[in-house]
Structure 1
Amino acid sequence: MQDADDAPVLRHDADGVTTLTLNRPERFNALSEEVLEALAAALDALADDGEVRCVVIAARGRAFCAGHDLREMRASSEEAYYRDLFTRCGALMQAIVALPVPVIARVQGLATAAGCQLVASCDLAVAARSARFAVSGIGVGLFCSTPAVALSRDIGRKRALEMLFTGEFIDADRAHDWGLVNRVTADDALDEALGELTASICAKSAVAVRTGKGMFPRQQEMPLAEAYDFAAQVMAGNMMAEDAGEGIDAFLEKRPPRWRHR
């Protein structure tokens, strides 16, 4: 029987924040089949958990995630195997987007290939100043096609293509400038910066945060007029929530809101 501390993904819950920690530090937290399966199962378990306010994806060791496990991949020569592997990885990234609460990447060290894709798929990201990002498959003759999907939606066409065609690393400050991460902090202050961000989210109305998480990615894929029509419907529905009334009353009465739904 596998010891809990040896599990490929560890889960910790505290004050509405669930942290999922990649636990293959000796392999730079590469996304082996076992890790993909465990992370997908953990996200699936969180989808209907009303107590969770936000999720953090973290990693043990010197690296955040080095992408797919290349040794494991080379053990097969079947195209069907690779198609299934990349499809399952894509489903994992989509599960992050579909999760009803914000997902935050806590990044230290390297985030390469599918590891960079994982950062780009999260709603928010906080990085240590030592963090480095790359989609480096091009260096081994493999264009990072699936990471390109998330990356291009985060940092735009030309910046994404520069990373994809060269495989070169960008540092944390450039990742911040390009919009791949939200905050950069000293390595020893990473958890403090992450805690400030999660505390700010958890202090808000859970109804409003979940409404926004569901609405935002959907409107991005719509034409402008359709997006505004959809947004108006969502916002009108949000106004019917108790928390919206309480929040507005609290603002007008110059007092802190007392959210009905924590």
Structure 2
Amino acid sequence: MQANEWPLEDGYCRIRTARQKKRARIKDFHKYLRRLRKEEKRLDELKHKLPLQPLARPYQKGWLRTFILRPDVATSRQAAFYQELLNKINTVEYSNDKKFRIKKRKWKRKKVWVDKPQYLREFSERCFFSRDCKLTEQEKLLFHREERTHKHTKEISIYYVFSERWRFILKVKPRIITHIKMVNGTLDGEIQRLENRIITHHLRHKLGKEIDGKMYHYLSRAPLPPNPFKQKSLADILSEVYNDQQQ
């Protein structure tokens, strides 16, 4: 009689097999990971909801750069239209350098200072045609379609980019800090203890792989091309080859 077939009578108990014990351990470990992720999200939400406190003495922290209308566009009849569009696709960059320069490697060794590029907001194909897209039909006419290939997976993605970039110029302004996030020592202590537990037991990779399912997704291989001879007999394949040669 197998161990899992013993009757539940006096003096007997159900004994799990080695495979059942292993599955139970894996299941309990996954439940433990879910509890950690749930607790981590709860603490992050509490920290995000902390109110802002105004500073008695505001201070400057670097510079910010954003797009504005060109002077000739700002005085034209369509100034209101392009200003409303700019509010939807504008981006902001921050830097400690007023010239917004970054180091870029050149000739494989030497690093040189180059201007940091800044682009308007781009929309994926799904976002561009979704109901939640805030662009109007008239504004969508000013976007063109671009295909881009992913560096690792070689997958082709479609984006919609604004065509009339020349209507906007960049403006650099000082970044003034007027409010600061409230500090909660008890909450920060709980977040740090949870982070120490995850790092000590090497669970960060497990959380990303088992719970989120997004860890190192860019390393996945590109899909293979379809096999034209799949589910075809040898006679059918030879017949197709013969017909192609005759043509």
Which one has a larger percent helix, Structure 1 or Structure 2?
1
Q: TM-score if structure 1 supplies the norm length?
A: 0.17
Which one has a larger percent strand, Structure 1 or Structure 2?
2
Q: TM-score if structure 2 supplies the norm length?
A: 0.18
Whose Rg is larger? 2
